[in-house]
Amino acid sequence: MLSVFSSPGHYVQGRDATAALGSELTRLGIDGPVLIVAGGSARRLLNDSWERSLTDAKIAYSVHDSSGECSRAELARITAVAQDTGSRALLGAGGGKVLDSARAVADDLGLPMISCPTTASSDAPCSALSVIYTDTGEFEAYQLVRRNPALVLVDTSVIVRAPARLLAAGMGDALATWFEARTCTSARVRNMRGGASTRSATALAQLCYDTLLSDGPQALAAVREQAVTPALERIVEANTLLSGLGFESSGLAAAHAVHNGLTAAPATHSYLHGEKVAFGVLTQLVLEGAAADEIDTVLNFCAEVGLPTTLAALGLADADSDTLSAVATRATAPGETIHNEPFTVDAAMTLDALRTADALGRRGRA
């Protein structure tokens, strides 16, 4: 098995980075027309900046308002717009689902894709992977695309205007990176690009975890004040770049499979991807028999930044056995990443781990 490391073509991050969009696209040889797939807040926050930067660079563009869901129906709508406008590149601006939609359509049409996240709520911006959901919000499939984004441009002056909950959710998603990378590397399973992990990917995954622990609470305080600080910049990089490189080039395991399982319970649909992944991390650690001090460190971190550590915190306070069994069954479906664990995992084991993680979270809250 060959070792494979994947990354975006270019990564640009900093205060008022959107002003450099036009020059960055010109440097990449992208001269338009560009279709911008935008979430509502992205269009409100960035419309004037796009006009200045892209007009100065003489790049034609149009904007399509995203539905906010990365579903087959939304992909079909974006594809029709891209074809009608003769677009030669797609730019996703908004949260993870908006970026996933732009990425999937760009791949289908053979066009370069640019990621411009307006939140640091997940590690979606850098990857060559789109997560497809049903129209009702249930996980459907991972869709691998042929190329990572040509450019990831992260404007931290925009990131800090998003709710603090979104930054915390990004930390929940990033929290899984080291634990899943560690598992996949030791089990010698294929990463998201079909190869073995490199030492670089593992090191980046561990740096991601270390950064969360050292800078997470301070960055959360900064974003509550809409302040761009060094700690905030480091956490944005951890949530976006380090986590993105780490998960894609090392692999996913139980934590993200538990997230997918939780989407089978409608009560969890209003909770964010990273919030469900954070509980998935606790479940994975229980499933693997991790040391108590490691679990306590994760519990304490989650409590400090406001991430869920119980089923009740994900809307499942009164979940019956059928609901939890459905979550465990979905998490262990054939092809799920929980099967990257270095031992055989079934629904009964996963259900026990879910319940035990919940008990540990309740004890910690008490």
* pLDDT tens digits, one per residue of 238-282: 999 999 999 999 999 999 999 999 999 999 999 999 999 999 999
Could you give the percent of the chain with pLDDT greater than 70?
100
> β-strands 139-144, 129-133: how paired?
antiparallel
Nearest to 170 by CA among 278, 296, 16, 10: 278
pLDDT of residue 207 exceeding 80, the answer is yes
Could you give the percent of the chain with pLDDT greater than 90?
91
Sign of CA dihedral 123, 128, 133, 135: positive
pTM of the model: 0.93
Domains and CATH numbers, the chain: 10-160 (3.40.50.1970), 164-364 (1.20.1090.10)
pLDDT of residue 74 exceeding 90, the answer is yes
Measured distance CA(353)–CA(225) in Å, rounded: 38
Report yes or no: 181 and 202 within 8 Å, Cβ to Cβ: yes
Cα–chain-centroid distance for residue 243? Answer: 8
Measured distance CA(289)–CA(295) in Å, rounded: 10
Based on its alpha-carbon atoms, the radius of gyration of the chain, rounded to whole angstroms, reads: 20
Has 273 been annotated as catalytic? Answer: yes
Residue 123 annotated as binding site? yes
Catalytic residue among 107, 215, 273, 358: 273
| Residue 110 Ramachandran class (φ > 0 left, ψ -120 to 50 alpha, else beta) | left
Residue 127 annotated as binding site? yes
Taking the CB of residue 204, how many other CB atoms lie within 10 A of it?
A: 25
Measured distance CA(201)–CA(5) in Å, rounded: 7
Three-class DSSP category at 317: coil
Residue 273 annotated as binding site? yes
Has 173 been annotated as catalytic? Answer: yes
Catalytic residue among 64, 107, 259, 358: 259
Residue 119 annotated as binding site? yes
pLDDT for res 147: 93
**DSSP letters for 337-359:** GGGGSSS---HHHHHHHHHHHHH
Cβ-proximal residues to 195 (8 Å cutoff; 6+ apart), any chain? 1, 2, 3, 4
- The string of pLDDT tens digits covering residues 105-148 is 999 999 999 999 999 998 889 999 898 998 888 889 888 899 99
Measured distance CA(98)–CA(65) in Å, rounded: 10
> Rounded to 10 degrees, what is the CA torsion of 199, 353, 256, 331?
130
Residue 96 annotated as binding site? yes
Has 64 been annotated as catalytic? Answer: no
Measured distance CA(73)–CA(352) in Å, rounded: 36
Q: What share of the chain is helix, strand, coil (3-state, %, to 5)?
A: 60, 10, 30
Catalytic residue among 107, 155, 173, 215: 173
- The token duo for 234 is 């480091």
